[in-house]
A and B are shown apart, each in its own frame.
Chain A
């Protein structure tokens, strides 16, 4: 199987940089799979999971908090505000932040700005829980 270079970048770290066989990501338009030799492409990512098939056939999954996916000739880049590997997610912590988000949603019912942020936080927490269950 042909491979290509994938980089997963977040503002505080480079989560992944190496050769992969396939990437599956969730865009606003639906799930996409990127194989080697894909045309140049850019899409908006929803909060969701990134699944990577490594050249040796193993699979890794990471939770991702929304961002942009870009395929160019030399490499594919995922730029996301936060990402962590499924095995590195602490389910207890994710659960706590889910409860925290629910509390904030209740608290800021009448403030659209903060409610929006609390909703995003809830989405991230739910996504982490879902992804960590899949490891």
Chain B
């Protein structure tokens, strides 16, 4: 009866795995809901900040800022990479890191060195293993992301940009939450805000205190920290959604496996009983005969 015991043991093992995947699925869905709420709450602030920045850039024909002007000197680019702290989230981490490696390759071809700012344990480990040049690193912060932390990060990036004229751009790689089933890794340029430089001047009298440039310079860190906050929260929501889908599939597979194993088990049990019966009947017949 070794076969029967083996099957029983496998069923039990699959069942306990299923309990774990099921629990992870539930945890991920509740975390997802909270992360979505936070991502949505940060939307108006970010939109208004960006709107005011584009208005300032559009209204003043003589407007100029180091954060808008494209830089001619090419040397390096800062890549902010947001991945998760844990695995078991389907292709979530792999997609972000693959896109980043691809972008680093493109930059290299242009003779531009990438300096990374990894956020999330998986990104930190990835770049540490590859010996990449790192500006700073953050892990285990996504779930309790705060605006003060985002401001710190923005300040770190902006001061590097101000200090070194060789930094041609700051880009961010994060995962955009499209729907509960679709999350997309994306690479986006943060600075310079070249899209603002091209807008056509249109006059409409606004009084700026102390000056349009000063207001704009104040908005840039606010814009970058708002963007970072949003990207971290959005990525976290994507991670949870990816994990939920992955765990849902794992739970489904486990259920299917248990069904199959139970069938096998019952067949084996029935076979054993039949065999026993045949043996008894055969034995009885032999005695009579």
Contacts and interface: CB of A to CB of B under 8 A. Distances in A.
Interface of A: 7, 9-14, 27-29, 39-44, 67-68, 70, 77, 79, 81-82, 113, 117
Contacts of A12: 38, 41-42, 147, 229
Contacts of A9: 44-45, 48
Contacts of B225: 11, 81
Contact of B45 (A11, A27, A40, A70): A11
Nearest to A39: B207
Contacts of B45: 9-11, 14, 79
A30 B222 CA distance: 21
A35 to B, nearest CB: 15
B152 A117 contact: yes
19 contacts: A10-B147, A11-B42, A11-B150, A11-B225, A12-B229, A14-B44, A39-B207, A40-B204, A41-B207, A41-B209, A42-B56, A43-B210, A44-B215, A68-B49, A70-B48, A79-B49, A81-B148, A81-B222, A113-B159
Interface in B181-208: 204-208
Given A11-B225, A68-B218, A68-B222, 16 more contacts: A7-B44, A9-B44, A11-B45, A11-B150, A29-B209, A41-B209, A42-B206, A42-B212, A68-B52, A70-B48, A70-B52, A79-B52, A81-B147, A81-B225, A82-B147, A113-B159
Contact of A42 (B159, B208, B230): B208
Contacts, number: 83
A91 to B, nearest CB: 20
A40 B64 CA distance: 21
B277 to A, nearest CB: 71
A116 to B, nearest CB: 9
B150 A42 contact: no
**In terms of DSSP, what is the predominant structure of the interface of chain B?**
helix
A14 B219 contact: no
Contacts of A70: 48, 52
Given A42-B215, A67-B222, A77-B48, A13 B210 contact: no
Contacts of A43: 208-210, 215
A14 B46 CA distance: 11
B214 interface: yes
B52 A42 contact: yes
B154 to A, nearest CB: 10
Contacts of B151: 81
Contacts of B48: 7, 9, 70, 77, 79
Given A10-B45, A11-B229, A81-B151, A42 B207 contact: yes
A11 B46 contact: yes
B5 to A, nearest CB: 56
A14 B209 contact: no
Contacts of A82: 147-148
Contact of B209 (A11, A40, A44, A117): A44
B226 interface: yes
Nearest to A32: B209
A114 to B, nearest CB: 10
Interface in B114-158: 147-148, 150-152
A13 B89 CA distance: 28
Nearest to A27: B209
B227 to A, nearest CB: 10
Interface string B50-68: 0010001000000000000
Interface in B25-43: 38, 41-42
